[in-house]
Amino acid sequence: MSRAVAGPEIERLIQLLARLPGLGPRSARRVALHLVKRKDQLLGPLAGAMAEAAAKIVICPECGNVDTIVPCTICQDARRDPSILCVVEEVGDLWALERAAVINARYHVLGGTLSPLDGVGPEDLNIAKLVERARAPEVKEILLALNATVEGQSTAHYLMDRLADCGVTVSRLAHGVPVGGELDYLDEGTLAAAIKARKTL
Ligand code: ZN
């Protein structure tokens, strides 16, 4: 067991920081020291911002996004195209698409993928609400922006069946050669998907 180098409050801070993605115990100590040394400029304001966010965070009942207002900022944004619902697995995927600013649609966050082995069935995901939203007259297309993993793709197939009689077009992201990708470095699965999804020029 490693010896404590600071009082219990700082040790607790280090333990909590070590739970963050990408931070092990060593980097957690480094971050804690950085925060402690900048108590007024960083540690205090950060603690305040975290307490404020923790008190207000809610899951949007419409789309499953995380925000501090209901409905969420995206659902309230009248400038978004109401005809497309972009379905993602997690809030992180929504943020990634928003960062790229490639689509001006509304979203639907599933909260994971179907995984019978882990006991995750349709009722564990935000699917019933998706089917309900798909039936709204303004919705014309459901874009399944799910990960190109086995779970992501089997979830996409399941959703295609569930959405079949909702009167919407169901589309999915293209799979294939990434931008800047060299064929020589691609795996067989990616190459096969790219050949299958080839386009006439
Ligand atoms: Zn929302």
Mean pLDDT of 145-164: 95
On the question of a common fold for 8-56 and 66-172, the answer reads: no
Rounded distance from Cα 40 to ligand 1 centre (Å) = 35
DSSP code per residue over 15-29 = HHHTTSTT--HHHHH
Rounded distance from Cα 21 to ligand 1 centre (Å) = 25
Triad 149, 153, 159: Cα angle to 5°: 145
pLDDT tens by residue, 39-63: 999 999 999 999 999 999 999 999 9
For domain 8-56, the question of CATH label 1.10.8.420 is answered with yes
Residue 108 burial (C-beta neighbours within 10 Å; 0-12, 13-18, 19+)? buried
pLDDT at 74: 96
- Does pLDDT of 26 surpass 60? yes
Rounded distance from Cα 75 to ligand 1 centre (Å) = 4
Residue 34 phi, psi (nearest 5): -60, -45
Triad 189, 109, 149: Cα angle to 5°: 15
pLDDT at 1: 55
Q: Which fold has domain 66-172?
A: Dna Topoisomerase Vi A Subunit; Chain: A, domain 2 (3.40.1360)
Rounded distance from Cα 157 to ligand 1 centre (Å) = 24
Q: How far apart are CA 194 and CA 29, in angstroms?
A: 45
Rounded distance from Cα 63 to ligand 1 centre (Å) = 4
- In the chain, what are the domain boundaries? 8-56, 66-172
pLDDT at 197: 87
Rounded distance from Cα 13 to ligand 1 centre (Å) = 33
Of 196, 122, 192, 135, which Cα lies nearest the Cα of 167? 135
